[in-house]
Every structure is written in C-alpha cells, then in structure tokens.
Amino acid sequence: MSIFLDTGIFIAERNADDKRHSRGEELMKSILKNDYGKAYTSDYVVDEAITLMLMRTKRHKLATDIGEYVLDSPRIRILRVTEEIFDSAWRKFRSFEESPISFTDCTTLALMEERRIEKLASFDSGFDGLVERIS
C-alpha cells in the first residue's frame, strides 16, 4: 500500500492562510502515520509546490519552509523524473487534449503507474477518474 502526495496537499498543510489548511493538516498527519502506507512525491511536485507557494503568498520564508519540510522528511520519499518517466508523461499529456491536465500532473500519473502507487493525496479534481484520489 502506498500514496503519492500532490502539490496542493503540501501548500494547504504548510500555509495557515490556505482555505484547505485544516484538511491538509489532517491528511498529512494521517499520511505520516503510515495510514496509507509509504508516502511518495516527486521532484516535479516539490518544484511546483515551492514555486506556487512563493507566487501565491509572495513570502519567500513560506516557500523555503515547504521545500525544507518535504526535502527533510524521513517519511516522504522523493521520486525523480527519469527520461523514461518524462517520455511516458509526454505521451499522457498529448492524449489528454479533451480534458487537459498539467505536464507535472502527467509525470505524477507516470510515476504512480511505474511504481504501482495506489492512491493520490490531492485536492485536484482533474485526477478524478484517472486514479483513486484522497482529499
């Protein structure tokens, strides 16, 4: 059993002003207690979380905090987007013409498929129908 953590979970959990902050805290607590098995994210998600936190809040300290939180966590494993994953994500991205999702989200789908990660912790409804989403 395992779970992949998406950008919005980190942002909600680390930003007290986020409208989903309480739910983000609850989910993260449950995830870090291994209620969903091993926890994974990716280098692309970490990049997106740091960047979005900075752009939304204009607070470098919060962006740094989110990076340190994920990078220093002994319970969150960071998967790297390899050339093979990148190519798989690109094929997925091209196939979602009718209901587009971001390229970063396509890397998440490719990593989940490769690693057989069953669940996704995400507030992004764009994943609905593609993977089992916990929000």
Q: What is the average pLDDT across 60-68?
A: 97
Q: Is the pTM of this model over 0.85?
A: yes
Contacts 24+ apart (CB under 8 A), 78-84: 78/40, 78/41, 78/42, 78/43, 78/46, 79/40, 79/41, 79/42, 79/43, 79/111, 79/115, 80/42, 80/43, 81/42, 81/43, 81/44, 81/107, 81/111, 84/114
Instruction: For the chain, give the mean pLDDT.
Output: 97
134 occurs within a structural domain: no
58 occurs within a structural domain: yes
83 occurs within a structural domain: yes
CATH code of 51's domain: 3.40.50.1010
Domain residues for the domain of 120 are 2-124
pLDDT, one tens digit per residue, over 30-56 is 999 999 999 999 999 999 999 999 999
131 occurs within a structural domain: no
75 occurs within a structural domain: yes
Report whether pLDDT(95) > 90: yes
Report whether pLDDT(117) > 90: yes
- At 98 the pLDDT is 84
130 occurs within a structural domain: no
132 occurs within a structural domain: no
Report how many domains make up the chain: 1
